[in-house]
Amino acid sequence: MVLRVWDAAMAANIGPVVVAAADQEIYDAVTAAGGTAILTDPDLPSGSDRVWQATQAFDPDGKYDVLLNLQGDLPTFEPQALHAVMSVMANPMYDVGTLVAPVTSDAEKNAASVGTPGAYSDLACRNAKPGWKTLPCRTFADAIDAVHQGRAELAMLACENSLAGRVPDIHSLLPASGLQIVGEHFQRVEHCLLVVPGTRMEQVRRVHTHPVALGQIRNLIRDYNLEPVAEFDTAGAAELVALWKKPEEAAVASALAAELYGLDILKKNVEDADHNTTRFYITSRTADRPPVETPNVMTTLIFSVKNQPGALYKVLGGFATNGVNMTRLESYMSGETFAASRFLLDVDGHPDDIRLSKALAELDFFAQNTTILGVYPQSPFRQHTSAEGQDTPRSMPVHAISG
């Protein structure tokens, strides 16, 4: 992703391009591509601080009058946009400028995804919001920041996977993010074996992909005696294979990644299970609650209970007595004392509906710090899937299944 931004900046041809790298991995990737990178202090509080530190190292004598700060996670900008900025900044009346444009159609709206372009979160954005642009972000926190900063209208955040289970980062990030859940999307994960054009199966020696994906393609690895290599995400592995151009290296990623990076699909659906699906929360700065009479509504909330006998039983009893269906209940420890547990809960219904309203009133009586994270329409996926296969064992918590 950073290399794409660097390449676009080089194409603008308006001056030297320097990447302010936060870690060694970025520095190595840029320099290997022939670019200039400066390793900066990883503890700097912002990207602006990082750019300033790199500028002091690259131009200590102040040779250059204008400094353009490009977002490393914005690979879709056009080189001519830099010329538009320079035409304004050449005027000595202006010290600081920001390139902006009004959003007038869906084609100009951004949905923030986590991972390299072509990752499954990118695919989820494209399927959930056709016509929107995807804004690739390195982490969940970066995607949340992109919405707060106005660079994206929505963030697509993975919350659970049918094989790997929950995404722990959501527990810590979403409640404090200030974002509201306004929808959900279920994305089928269909792994493809990607290779450089012309590669035959017998030439492949190593397979690169996200660590979670490696656990989902054990049969492929065993049947072809491949060496598994863990990478940052699935699409990032595809980008590396395309860069290396070696037939012995393959990636497991989406068909979209093959299209974006010019790779051939040697094998489709190489995943061990055919029900591998990731659920995403669609989040926004503002709530968008459907009317109370809307059918098939979901409510997501968090709450705390004390570690004492019967506490959770009392909290959840109101949902049973009022006929409210719970579709998800996740627990995690809060703070450092292990004296209280936090729970994330998905339930059917609208908070203003009489049954859920009564259940929430009982919950409030026994629970603490109850916060509703979102009220939103259920995905049609729920109405089109049966209960079969819901007891499939889950292997491990997943930290970046969206990749």
Of 280, 303, 343, 366, which is the active-site residue? 280
The count of other CB atoms within 10 Å of the CB of residue 189 is 24
Q: What is the CA radius of gyration of the chain?
A: 24
What does residue 38 show for φ and ψ, rounded to 5 degrees?
-125, 125
Measured distance CA(200)–CA(191) in Å, rounded: 18
Residue 280 bears catalytic tag: yes
DSSP state, 378? P
Of 116, 209, 234, 278, which is the active-site residue? 278
Measured distance CA(71)–CA(200) in Å, rounded: 39
Residue 337 bears catalytic tag: no
Measured distance CA(276)–CA(224) in Å, rounded: 22
DSSP state, 232? S
Order of strands, edge to edge, in the sheet holding 227-230? 227-230, 206-209, 249-253, 192-195, 264-268
Residue 167, C-beta contacts closer than 8 angstroms, at least 6 positions apart: 157, 158, 159, 160, 161, 397, 398, 399, 400, 401, 402
The count of other CB atoms within 10 Å of the CB of residue 249 is 24
Q: Give catalytic residue positions.
A: 278, 280
